[in-house]
Amino acid sequence: MVLAPIAPAREAELRALLDSMNEAPGRVNPNNALLPFEKFETLHFARLLVLNDQTIGDVGVYGLATRTYPLYLAFLGDIDGEASDFLAEVAQRAFEGLRAIFSCCEGFSAETDLVRWMQSHEAAPIANYVNWRGRTVRRAREEAKLRDALESYLAANTAALADLPPRELHQDLQRFVAAEKSAGRLTLAGEESTPVGWWIKNTLHLVGMPLLFLVALPLLIVVAPFYLLRLRHLEKTDPELCSRVDQAYSDKLAQTEDHLVTNQFTAMGSLKPGLVRLATTTGILWTVNWGARHLFTRGRLARIRTIHFARWVFLDGHKRMVFFSNYDGTVESYMDDFINKTGFGLNTVFSNGIGYPRTNWLVLDGCQDERKYKDFLRRHTLPTQVWYKACPGLTAIDLERNSRIREGLETTSLSEEEARQWVALL
Amino acid sequence: MGRTLMKHDEVDYSDVQGLVHFGYGKMTEASYALLRIKDADAARAWLQVAPVTSAATMNPPPSTALQVAFTAGGLAALGVPGPVIAEFSPEFLAGMTEESRMRRLGDVGSNAPAQWEWGYETDVPHLVIMFFAEPGGLTNFVQNATGPGWNEAFAEMRWLKTANLDGVEPFGFTDGISQPQIDWERQRDPTRPQIDYSNVVALGEFLLGYPNEYNKYTDRPLVDANAASADLLPAEDAPGKKDVGRNGTYLVLRDLRQDVRAFWQFVRQRAGGDAVEGEKLAAAMVGRTRAGDPLAPIQNETIPGIGSQPDQIKQNRFTFDQDPTGSACPFGAHVRRANPRNPDFPGRPASLLSRVITMLGFGPKGFRDDLMSPVRFHRILRRGREYGPELLPENALTPASPNEPERGLHFICLNANISRQFEFLQNAWIVSTKFSGMTGESDPLLGNRAPLPGCPVTADFSRPRAAGLRHRFAGLPRFVTVRGGAYFFLPSLRALRYLATIGSG
């Protein structure tokens, strides 16, 4: 994520530039002149937005003075491969467009080196979630094409194929796909080999985090009672700020929502003051990040199956936090999903934000107060000016189905039951 | 917990409009007046003495009933103060035709509000007055009940007439079989996880002022006690406040025009002209036979909130657990979409440990496991009535005559949270082309078939088979068109008196 303070005098100009990238509010032009997103074959999602936090005054409930923060522009991309490669490519292909955009930010002049400037403004997330590790945009597109090809073939040959036993149908479709591949009509590239460096880093992360935890455990045990006492006290006294959200603001957000089967979400707010809250947030998000990287790598974040990508980023010396996600369905169903399926997880992270509905032992209550939680979240939601999705019609479940279809096809021999389950995906 | 819940006062049925408690099945005649307020004083005067029927059981039962509900604009026209109105839920205030809502509800293309007969922009009614009567009684009842002040008070936008099709909706299927059982006595503790499907739903899901399925209270106006509100009941969750919403609820009304001929001609044609196969396809699209028997298998275990009469067992003692492949009842069948009958967790984890394992994401991992939100948060109480003359399937195969009468459903549902109940259900389960792991198909009856960006195919219907390739039907026509609709507040009788006096002088 590139994060840069906007030059106050240039904000209006920047907003006009961002709007020019859309066909209509909430509907990006994927081939817009400034940043033709669809030209980047490793880009799943992208967004550009002004981080205009409406709630910076909330620290007042703790008797703290409202701080003045710069107004930031954020540019995010969820990509395959290395960020540095993507930045180099985007800087090359969208040179003029990006310069026009970033020239509205502080410290960007005609002489600035674009790539270096973006790198120096990189804001690293503390936690990152990817729905399906290793599924590249290219792979997602190939698998979507594969499904379309199978659909057409099945539709055209229903009479001959409909009553085949599953294993025979599986074999027939394998033959069909092999023929399509050799005729050059279908491509199913093999898994790209994982770079050794990535593999080493990943293994170190996998082992390192638990090791660090073990090393720190004696200290944690000593600190735990004091931590819990303090946390319980805070939980009982931290004020809630869950007033009804301003309808005009909510309507403005809604304008950009529900144009596709997938939506974007950005929420921002200030952390509760004090070390306990900061330590809790950091510890939980390290855990989330570790889990997302090593455990929840195939289509599920705990029970949630609708999130494509998500990330959490600290801002302004850990005073504020911003959360980004790309999810399927409406914001209402997204929030219901969280409350009903992973309320505990939601509470552990977001209850460290000022005004969150009261939790109990960190995991209980909180978002279970549905009305307060939804108002809280809507109030913290930011409008996203520009949002791009590479496969606009595909949900995370669609992508999973397509991947399962492909995996089944590439399995030489299926048992009767496996074949039945595979055929049921078609 | 159960004991503390029972401490509360019982619901005062005489304060609740009867429609929440009864479907008025014996009153087979009904007509709904969509009105705009012409003169606020006269409207208040009429409403103050309106013979509104309560949910109290009467002996003998009444032979007529009258119910009143307001839109947000109607409350304003009645002179209800802005700050009071502002505390109603956002979706009620914004109305059904707010721009992003149209996308969520599938009200685009031919369903777009700009083409509605009523309910858009200047055509939003202020209130609906619903008249019900036993056979032969409606005309007299309307005449007597409207009375002399009526014309001074209201401008009639239109009358929504209804027809009695004997519990069968216009396509020819028995309707209204499955309804949630309201937990009137508040016996159930909603904070306990629901491992098995239950048809008993918290009172607060259907009546404002009571705990809902989260054991919390839903948005509604609370006011300081004053002269006008003296009669209102107190708010359970806010000491010192009077509850304008208590014993009231939200009412969703949608005029759904049904193309009965298109439906039966489609299934007959796709069945190769075979009448029996055609009816089977129609049943697969609905998820029940025309007589109302579910295609999903009946289970032996009882289901809370579903009775043990033979009819109730035969028609409602089922979940879709016994049909995991969708080969009995397709995943996309209307009844499976409208009520997936799923509890809080996949795989019914009985122990706390197995629940924690599931919560952490290590439960069942099948493709179709855990795709839907638990249904108990998304139930609605249906109170719709049909309109138009009956057209039997066998007579629906000929082309429409030039002056073909209109047929359809005045869909009505009651819910305390429009956004989480009606709108969620309509959006995520009915309109969505991605329901239950499918792609390319929306509700076979209600879908608008409009393409979405990146999803050119939205008009399929699939019938899975236990072993073998699914049967997929492409190119379903649109059988239902939305012709009007609005969100209303159905007040309690006390709140009605309050609303009808607060604005005067």
pLDDT tens, position by position, A272-321: 999 999 999 999 999 999 999 999 999 999 999 999 999 999 999 999 99
Instruction: Say whether A369 and B214 touch across the interface (CB within 8 A).
Output: yes
Give dist(CA B149, CA B146) in Å, integer. 7
Tell me which chain A residue has its CA closest to the CA of residue B373: A337
Is B389 a member of any domain?
no
Least CB-CB distance to A250: which of B87, B90, B434?
B90
Work out the number of other CB atoms within 10 angstroms of the CB of residue A243: 11
Q: What is the mean pLDDT of chain B?
A: 94
Contacts with A421 from chain B: Cβ below 8 Å: 367
pLDDT at B288 over 70: yes
Over the stretch B391-416, which tens digit does the pLDDT of each residue have?
A: 999 999 999 999 999 999 999 999 99
Is B444 a member of any domain?
no
What pLDDT score was predicted for residue B227?
75
Give the A:B interface size as CB pairs under 8 Å.
144
**A331 vs chain B: nearest CA distance in angstroms?**
10
Tokens at B437, concatenated: 């792991």
**A61 vs chain B: nearest CA distance in angstroms?**
22
Range of the domain at B218: 2-253+485-502
Indicate the burial class of B76 (C-beta count within 10 angstroms; 0-12, 13-18, 19 or more).
middle
**Measured on CA atoms in the order B334, B486, B90, A383, is the torsion positive or negative?**
positive
| DSSP character string of A7-30 | PGGGHHHHHHHHHTTEEETTEE-T
Over the stretch B187-209, which tens digit does the pLDDT of each residue have?
A: 999 999 999 999 999 999 999 99
Tell me which chain A residue has its CA closest to the CA of residue B355: A341
Tell me which chain B residue has its CA closest to the CA of residue A394: B454
| B 59-118 residues with CB < 8 A to A | 87, 90, 93-94, 98-101, 103-104
Is B362 a member of any domain?
no
**B214 vs chain A: nearest CA distance in angstroms?**
6
3-state percent helix, strand, coil for chain A, nearest multiple of 5: 50, 20, 30
pLDDT at B9 over 80: no
Is B71 a member of any domain?
yes
Is B99 a member of any domain?
yes
Query: Number of folded domains in chain B?
Result: 1
Residue type, position B396, single letter? A
Least CB-CB distance to A397: which of B359, B371, B464?
B371
Least CB-CB distance to A401: which of B104, B367, B370?
B367
What pLDDT score was predicted for residue B503?
86
Give dist(CA A66, CA A83) in Å, integer. 35
Instruction: Say whether B454 and A392 touch across the interface (CB within 8 A).
Output: yes
Instruction: Say whether B453 and A393 touch across the interface (CB within 8 A).
Output: yes
Least CB-CB distance to A161: which of B104, B358, B469?
B469
Instruction: Say whether B359 and A341 touch across the interface (CB within 8 A).
Output: yes
Place of tokens 């939680």: A373
What pLDDT score was predicted for residue B3?
40
SS3 B197: coil
- Is residue A347 within 8 A of residue A364, CB to CB? The reply is yes
CA-to-CA dists, residue A228 to A38, A356, A366, B99, B432, angstroms: 50, 19, 17, 47, 44
| B 381-440 residues with CB < 8 A to A | 419-420, 423-424, 427-428, 432-434, 437, 439
What pLDDT score was predicted for residue B7?
53
Residues of chain A below pLDDT 70: none
- Is residue A414 within 8 A of residue A422, CB to CB? The reply is yes
Contacts with B453 from chain A: Cβ below 8 Å: 27, 259-260, 392-393
Over the stretch B119-156, which tens digit does the pLDDT of each residue have?
A: 999 999 999 999 999 999 999 999 999 988 999 999 99
| B 441-460 residues with CB < 8 A to A | 452-456
What pLDDT score was predicted for residue A58?
95
Give dist(CA A210, CA A216) in Å, integer. 10
- Is residue A18 within 8 A of residue A105, CB to CB? The reply is no
Is B219 a member of any domain?
yes
Q: What is the mean pLDDT of residues B307-329?
A: 95
Can you count the helices (H) and strands (E) in chain B?
A: 15, 15
What pLDDT score was predicted for residue A192?
73
Cβ within 8 Å of residue A105, ≥6 positions away: A4, A5, A6, A7, A10, A14, A73
**B431 vs chain A: nearest CA distance in angstroms?**
11
- Is residue B27 within 8 A of residue B142, CB to CB? The reply is no
Is B266 a member of any domain?
no
Cβ within 8 Å of residue B34, ≥6 positions away: B118, B125, B128, B156, B157, B158, B159, B160
Query: What are the structural domains of chain A?
Result: 2-124 (3.30.70), 137-191+396-423 (no CATH)
| B 8-67 residues with CB < 8 A to A | none
Work out the number of other CB atoms within 10 angstroms of the CB of residue B110: 12
What pLDDT score was predicted for residue B226?
81
Residue type, position B97, single letter? T
Tell whether B361 lies on the interface with A, counting CB pairs under 8 A.
yes
What pLDDT score was predicted for residue B504?
84
Instruction: Say whether B98 and A254 touch across the interface (CB within 8 A).
Output: yes
Output DSSP code: residue A234: H
Is B201 a member of any domain?
yes
Contacts with B467 from chain A: Cβ below 8 Å: 165-166, 420
| B 168-197 residues with CB < 8 A to A | 191
